[in-house]
Structure 1
Amino acid sequence: MQVTMTTASDNAVIPAADAAEESTNKQPIATGIEGLDFVLQGGLPAGRPTLLRGAAGTGKTVIALTFLCHGIAAGETAVFVTFDEAPEALLGHAEGFGFPARRYLAEGRLRILDMRPDRNEVQVGETIELTAILARIGFALDSLGATRLVLDAVDGMETGYADLPSLRGELTHVFDWIRDRAVTCLITVGEYADFSTRYGLEDYIADCVIALTQEVSNRVMTRVLRVVKRRGAAHGSNENPFLLDRGGIFLVPVTGSVLSAKVSDARLSTGISGLDAMLGGQGPYRGSITLLSGQAGTGKTSIACSFARAACEAGLSVLYISFEESLDELIRNQRSIGIDLDRYHRTDGRSVDGLGALLLQPVRAVELGLEEHLMRVIRSVRQHRPALVILDPVSGLAGRSRDPVAKEMLLRLLYLIKEEGVTTVATELLGDDSAGVSHLDVSSIIDVWIKLRRHENDGEMNRLITVVKARGLPTSDQVKEFRMSTEGLRIVDPYLGESGIVYGTARMARQAEDEETIDQLHIELERAHQLRAELSEIQAANERLARAEHEVKTADLDRQVAQIERRLAAIERTRAAIGRGRA
C-alpha cells in the first residue's frame, strides 16, 4: 500500500517516497545555535526527524526551544508537543532563557500541545491511542502552516504501552509520519533505561541523532554534545562541550578553529614608554598575543592594567577577565600605582567622552570546568567585540590541571580569540622553583613573550624585565629594571659599572662609588699630566744645556783646527821661502 501525505497549503496528495526524496535535497535547517549548525554543516536535515537524547539536565528542552524560537524569529511558525512538562512550565523555561514564547503564542506563531499521558483519558484497552495524538499534531501543523516541530520527551509514552514491540511499532509509525509530512522535527528522549537503544531509535528509525552527556571531573561538570549520525550528509564527529546558562546554549566546536587570524600593521601601546621602546618603539601589533610570565609580585597584573589603560585612552574597548582578584580589589590595588581603572569601567560596555570602555569580569578559576571557561570567554568576546582581551592569570586555568587537555584547551582559547582579530594579553604565574621556565607550553602561538623576575641582593628585592621574543618587531636584548611606585610604572636601563650590573638602591651606592673613583682618577690623571709636563721641561732644559755644551766644544775644536791650519800654512810658507833662497 502506498503511504500518502497531505500538505497544509493545498491539501494535494503527494507520494510519501517523493516527499522524502524532496526533503533530502533541501538545504539544512538552522537551529539557531551557531556551533551546533557548524558541526551539522548547516543545521538539521530538512523535513526529517532528528533524535536528541540525553539524561536529565543535559539541555534537551533548551536546545528544542532554541530551534523553535529561532525559526519563529525568522518568520516561520512552529508546534511544540510535550509529553512530560506542563505548557506553563515550558513557557517559564523559555522566558528564563530570553525567548518571547508567550508573545509568539499570543500572535499565533507558536502552538503548544499538552500530550502528557493520562491513562484515565487517552487509552484504548491498555495502550495509548497514538492515532488521536498524531491527528491533533497534524491539525496544529496544518492550522499554522508550521515548518518546525518538536516532540519533547517522547519516552514519556512508555508508561502507556504494555510491551516493547507495540511501542516500537508506534514510534516507527511516528517517525514515518513526520517524514511523510516533510516537517523538520526535533524529538527529545531521556537516557532512562536506554530507551532509544531498546526501541532502535538510533540504529534504524532516526535520520539524525545528537547525543548529550554530562562529564564530571574533579567535582566540576561539563556538558558535551556529539552528533552520532546524520543520514545523507557529512557532520562533525567529535565531542563538543557546550555552555548552558541564562544566555542560552553556546557551543564551540572542537574542530572549529583554523589558522585564519586577521593581520594588522597597527600597534597597541603598552602604556609604559620604556616597554614600548623595548618592543620597537610603539608596542605589539594589534591582534597579537602577548604573554607576561613571572613570579608572584613581579608586576604582571600591573603591566596588564597598563595595557588596558592605554587602550581605553586610545578609545578602544577592553575585556578584562580576572581569575584571582575581585572587581573592587583590582581597582583599589591598581590605584596605588596611579592606574585608575574605575575611570574607564563600564558595566554596559559603552564608551564615554572618547574613552574606551573597560568591562571587568572577575571569575574564580576553580568555579567552572576548563571547557566552560573557554566558552564563557569566547561568548563574551563575541558579544562585546573588544579590541583587547586580558586573561589574568591564564595559568589559573591551565596551570591548575596536569591533564594534557588543559594545554589543548588553552591553545584553542587563544586561537579562537586571535581569529576574532582581538589583541590578547595573558599573564602567567611562575613558581619560585620554576627557574623561569613556563609550564604552559603555548609559546608556539605567542607573538610577544615578556618575562619578569625578582632579583634579590643585599637585603633588597628588585624587578627585572626582558623581552624573550616579539614576532615581526625589533626588540631590545637587554635585561632592564622594572620599577613600580605611586608615580606609575617605569623601565630603567641597567647600570653597568666597573664591577658589573647593579639594580635598585645598590645602583645609587655603586654609582656614587664610581663617581668618587672617577673624581680620584681625574686628580691622579691631572697629577700625572703635571709630572709629565715637568719631565718634559727637564728634558727640554737638558737638551738646551747639551746643545750649549756641544756648541762650546764645537767652537773650541773649530779654534784648534784654525790654529793648526795656520801653523801648517806658516810652515809651508817658510819651507817655500827657503827653497827659493837656495836656488
Structure 2
Amino acid sequence: MTNKDIRLISTGIRNLDTILGGGIPLYSMNIIAGSPGGGKTILAQQILFETIRRQPNDKTLYLTTLSEPMLKVVRYGQRLNFFDADQFGERVIYHDIGSFIYEQPLSGLVDHILQRVNQSQAQVLVIDSFKAIRDSVDNPVEFRRFCYLLSVRLASARCTSFLITESDCSRINHDPEFAIADGIIYLFMAEQNQEQRRFLQVYKLRGMNPKMNPIPFTITADGVQVFTSALAISQQPIPEKVSSQPLSTGIFGLDCLLQGGIPQGYSVMVSGFSGAGKTTLALQFLLQGVEAGETGLLFYFEDSRHSLDSLIHRLGWDLASLEAQGWLTIISIPHPQIRLEEQLEQIREAIQTLKPKRFVIDSFSVFLSKTEHHVIQREKTYIITTLIQQVGAVGLLISDQVIDDSQSHSHFGVQGTVVDGILVLSSAIVPHLGFRDGIRRYRYLEVLKMRSVNHITGRHRMHITPTGIEVLYLKATAVSENTSVIPKPLQFSLVQDLVQEQLRFNQAWLVQGEPGLGKSILGLQFAIEGLQHQDSVLYISADVRFHQVCERFSSLNLLPQSYLQSGQLVILDPLSPGKTAISLSDPEFLLYILTCQLEQMSKPCRIIFDSLVPVAINCSVEEFLSFIDDKNRLLNHPDVVLLDIWDQRIGITDKGYSLWNTFDGIINLSIPDWGEMNQRGNRGYPTLQLQKLRGSLIDPRPYPYKISLPQGIVLQNYYD
C-alpha cells in the first residue's frame, strides 16, 4: 500500500501536513506527547477547529480527563485566533469524563468514550490527558487491553483520534499506548544559541513517510506555526527558463564590470567592513528596479529602521510612496528579535507570495549570527539562494567582514561557496601630496566572483556621493563599427601651414611654455575654431574660475552663452560651486568625470585642459604620468582631439621624455636666445615651434608670433 492508497485528513496547520507526508491517516489513533507547557493542548485544539473549517459537515469532540479542567481549556483556547465561538458547543464539542474515570472501572471507559463519540457524531476526537487514564490503572496488562480496544472501536466508528499525554521521549519505547498508536508526534523544548526553542518531531506514522528530524515551531496568537523552509522549497520547481537579460545594478560602472548587470536567478553576497557602502549599494539596486518597473523586497535586520529611512530619503526617494504603491516592501526586524527559523519562514513566504524581481537581506551576517554552527549557516544560505532562484529574482546578501581577517569575504566564511557572486567593498589609506597630512583613504569595489559571467577583474575605485555609489570604471571609448565613414578634418589654422597633411582628430596635443607666452590664448583659439565649425568643446579650466573663462572667450570676440546653453560648450573648473565644479586632487576620479562628460558631448569634440600643472603638484610623478597616459588612451576616439597646456618650468625629474611620448603633437612656445640681437632691455620675440606630430611631415622651425586682441596668437614669417 502506498501513500496514495491511504485516505488522509489535513491538520490545517501550515507545513505540518508536509512534515507528516501529506496529513493524518483517516481513522488512525495518534499520540501527541511532550512535557507540560510544550503546546500539546493548543496543537490538538487547532486541529479540531481547522477540521470543521475545512469540512463544513464534520463535527469534533474534545474530552478532558483528570488533568486540566475543561473550563480552563476553553478559557485559554478562546484567546487564540483559530477559536470560533459560533462553532463552540455545536461542531466543536467539549465534555469532561474525569468523574467517570474517577468513579467507574476501566472496563466501561471504552463504551463511555464511544457513546460520547456517537452522540456528538464526531469525526475527530481528542482525549486530554490520556496519561491520567494510564495513571489510574494499576494493572499494565489491563491498560494495554484498554488501549487496543479503544483503537479498534474508534476506527470502527470512523473516528480519527488524538491522545494527549505528558511523557518524555524515554517512555515511547516502554509504554503500551505508544506501541498501539498509529502515529506519535512529540513536542519538546531545547536550548539553541542560548535560548529555549520549541521543536516538533514525528516518531511514528503508520503507512506514511514523514520527516522524522526535529522541526522548529512557535506558538503565537494564531496557534502553532511550524517552520519547514528547507522542506517547502524542495517541493517548489526551479523555473525551466529564466530571462537571460541581466538586471542593472543602478550603478553604471558596476554594470560595466558585470558586462551589463547581474543575471536573473543569481544570489550575490555584498561583503565589506562597516561603513563601506554596502547598504547604499543595495538601496540603489532596489531603487533601480523601481525605475525599471520591478518590485523589490528588503529584509532589514539591523537595529534602527530610522537610519534606513534617512538613507533612502537622502538618495531622493519617497519611501512611504514606494511602499504604498507596492513597488518596495520593507520588513524590519531588530537584531534582538530575530528567530532564525521564524524569520526564514517569513522570508520564504514573502518571496513566494510577492515574487519580487529584486531581493535584499541587510544584514545577512546578522541574520546568521543566531547560530554558531557553520553547517546550519551554510544550509540557511542554500535555502535563501534556492528561493531566489525559484522566482527568478536577483538577491543581494549583505555580509560584514571580520575586522582582523581581510582575506575572508563573509563574516562566517561559509556563504561564499554557496552564492553565485561576490562583490567586495574595501578601502585603503594611500599617500597623497594634495592633503595636509599627506594621506588619503580611497574606497574600492571588486567583483570577486560571478558565475558564468566574463566580468572585469581587479579592484576599482568607487565614490559615495549624495546620489549614491559611483564606480570609477574607465574604458576606452568604443570605436565606431562603421569604418567606411571618414572623420572630417580637424580645423587648426594656427599650425595647419606647418604640416604637409591635413590635420585630423584622434590625436593628443601638448602646448608647453613658460608663463606669459599665450598658452591659454592658444587653447581658447583652438576651442573657438572648433565651435565655429560645429564641433563640441569640453574646456577644463584648472587655474581660473568659470566666469573668467567666459570673459576670456569674449575678449577673443566669441560670446559663449549661446554655446553653453545649447551644450556645445561645457566649462569645468575646480573653483566655482555647482555642477561645473571638479576636483583636481584625485586624478582617477577626475578622469572618470571627464569620461562621463565626454559620453554626453556631441561629436566631433575638442577637449582642452588648461592647465595640467595643478594636477601635477597634487600627486607624485608616477601618478601624474599615469594620469596623462590613461587620459590620452581612454579619451581616444576618431572624433575627439585633446589639447593640454603645460608650464615648462614645472620639473618632472628625468621623465620629460615620458611625458612627451604620450602626446601625438607638441607645440612649444618660447623666447629663444637671439644672440647678438638680444640687446639689453629687449627680451626678444616669442616663437611657436611645432616640435612633433606623430605620422606627419612637419616644419619644425620656430616662427615668431604676436598676441593681439581679438585675433589672439598670429604667426609671422618675418621679424620686425
Decide: shared fold, TM above 0.5.
yes
8 A contact 1:54–1:213 mirrored in 2:
yes
SS at match of 1:105: coil
Distance 1:302 1:448 in 2: 18
Aligned equivalent of 2:186, options 211, 232, 240: 211
Instruction: Check if 1:78 corresponds to 2:59.
Output: yes
Q: 1:176 to 1:196 in 2, by over 3 A?
A: farther
Find the counterpart in structure 2 of residue 66 from structure 1.
46
Aligned equivalent of 1:430, options 388, 398, 401: 401
* Paired amino acid for 2:91: R
Deviates more, 1:122-131 or 1:45-54: 122-131
Distance 1:484 1:323 in 2: 23
Distance 1:161 1:460 in 2: 83
* Paired amino acid for 2:190: E
Aligned equivalent of 1:481, options 450, 458, 461: 461
Distance 2:142 2:272 in 1: 67
Deviates more, 1:125-134 or 1:78-87: 125-134
Find the counterpart in structure 2 of residue 278 from structure 1.
257
Instruction: Check if 1:112 corresponds to 2:88.
Output: no
Question: What is the count of residue pairs matched by the alignment?
Answer: 497
Instruction: Check if 1:357 corresponds to 2:338.
Output: no
SS at match of 1:223: strand
8 A contact 2:169–2:186 mirrored in 1:
no
8 A contact 1:479–1:494 mirrored in 2:
no
SS at match of 2:15: helix
Question: Which is richer in helix?
Answer: 1
Q: 1:125 to 1:68 in 2, by over 3 A?
A: closer
Q: Deviations along 1:174-216, whole A, 9 cap, x unmatched?
A: 22322222322222222269665553222x2111112222220
SS at match of 2:8: coil
Query: 1:396, CA displacement in angstroms?
Result: 1.4
Query: 1:356, CA displacement in angstroms?
Result: 0.9
Query: 1:240, CA displacement in angstroms?
Result: 2.2
Find the counterpart in structure 2 of residue 389 from structure 1.
359
Aligned equivalent of 2:303, options 325, 343, 346: 325
Structure 1: runs of 5 or more not aligned:
1-20, 347-351, 539-583
Query: 1:392, CA displacement in angstroms?
Result: 0.9
Aligned equivalent of 1:261, options 230, 238, 254: 238
Aligned equivalent of 2:123, options 147, 162, 171: 147
**Aligned residue runs from structure 1 range 151-550, under 5 A:** 151-158=127-134, 160-162=136-138, 164-191=140-167, 198-202=174-178, 204-248=179-223, 249-252=225-228, 254-258=230-234, 260-262=237-239, 263-265=241-243, 266-281=245-260, 283-346=261-324, 352=325, 356-364=327-335, 366-382=336-352, 384-399=354-369, 401-404=371-374, 405-438=376-409, 439-458=412-431, 459-493=439-473, 509-510=618-619, 520=648, 525-526=666-667, 530=691
Query: 1:138, CA displacement in angstroms?
Result: 1.9
8 A contact 1:294–1:452 mirrored in 2:
yes
8 A contact 2:444–2:460 mirrored in 1:
yes
Distance 1:319 1:238 in 2: 31
8 A contact 1:49–1:175 mirrored in 2:
yes
* Paired amino acid for 2:21: Q
Distance 1:474 1:326 in 2: 38
8 A contact 1:275–1:491 mirrored in 2:
yes
Q: 1:215 to 1:192 in 2, by over 3 A?
A: closer
Q: 1:177 to 1:162 in 2, by over 3 A?
A: same
Q: 1:380 to 1:531 in 2, by over 3 A?
A: closer
Query: 1:43, CA displacement in angstroms?
Result: 0.9
SS at match of 1:301: helix
Find the counterpart in structure 2 of residue 56 from structure 1.
36
Distance 2:415 2:2 in 1: 49
Find the counterpart in structure 2 of residue 18 from structure 1.
none
Distance 1:456 1:206 in 2: 70
8 A contact 2:193–2:370 mirrored in 1:
no
Q: Deviations along 1:16-62, whole A, 9 cap, x unmatched?
A: xxxxx999953222222343222222111111111121223333233
Query: 1:368, CA displacement in angstroms?
Result: 4.3
Find the counterpart in structure 1 of residue 712 from structure 2.
none
Q: 1:503 to 1:457 in 2, by over 3 A?
A: farther
SS at match of 1:264: coil
Query: 1:230, CA displacement in angstroms?
Result: 2.0
* Paired amino acid for 2:191: V
Q: 1:537 to 1:141 in 2, by over 3 A?
A: closer
Distance 1:274 1:491 in 2: 5
Q: Deviations along 1:420-466, whole A, 9 cap, x unmatched?
A: 54432210100232224234323343223211111222332222112
The structure number with the bigger radius of gyration is: 1
Deviates more, 1:429-438 or 1:246-255: 246-255
Percent identity between matched residues is 20
What TM-score, normalized by structure 2, do the two folds share? Answer: 0.61
Q: 1:56 to 1:278 in 2, by over 3 A?
A: farther
Q: Deviations along 1:115-134, whole A, 9 cap, x unmatched?
A: 3x24xx65336779624641
Q: Deviations along 1:56-88, whole A, 9 cap, x unmatched?
A: 333323332332233222224232324244555
Distance 2:692 2:200 in 1: 92
SS at match of 1:138: helix
What TM-score, normalized by structure 1, do the two folds share? Answer: 0.74
